Amino acid sequence: MPIVQRVEAEALRALQAPDVRTRLQETGMTITAMRGPQFIDFIRADIAKWTPVVRAAKLDQGSK
């Protein structure tokens, strides 16, 4: 199973767990199940959004 499909499947599975849903809702998150291209676009946008934060905090030092 390609990695994107595996991550998608595991994320959807996690979102179905009542304890996960409750915890996410308690923190103010909106739960949205995404599939296919929509999921890939979301992950790419999230990486683009958080990469500068990780680099600024020098959290990526061990990944080189």
CB atoms within 10 A of CB 10: 10
As a whole number, mean pLDDT of residues 3-14 equals: 87
Is the pLDDT score of 63 beyond 80? no
Tell me which of 33 and 1 has the higher pLDDT: 33
Q: Quick one: average pLDDT of 9-18?
A: 91
Q: Is the pLDDT of residue 61 over 80?
A: no
Given this model, what pLDDT does residue 55 score?
92
Question: 21 with 52: CB under 8 angstroms?
Answer: no
* Residue 8 burial by Cβ neighbours in a 10 Å radius (0-12, 13-18, 19+): buried
Q: What is the pLDDT of residues 14-36, one digit of tens each?
A: 999 999 999 999 999 988 878 88
Q: Are 57 and 47 in contact (CB under 8 A)?
A: no
Average pLDDT over the chain reads 88
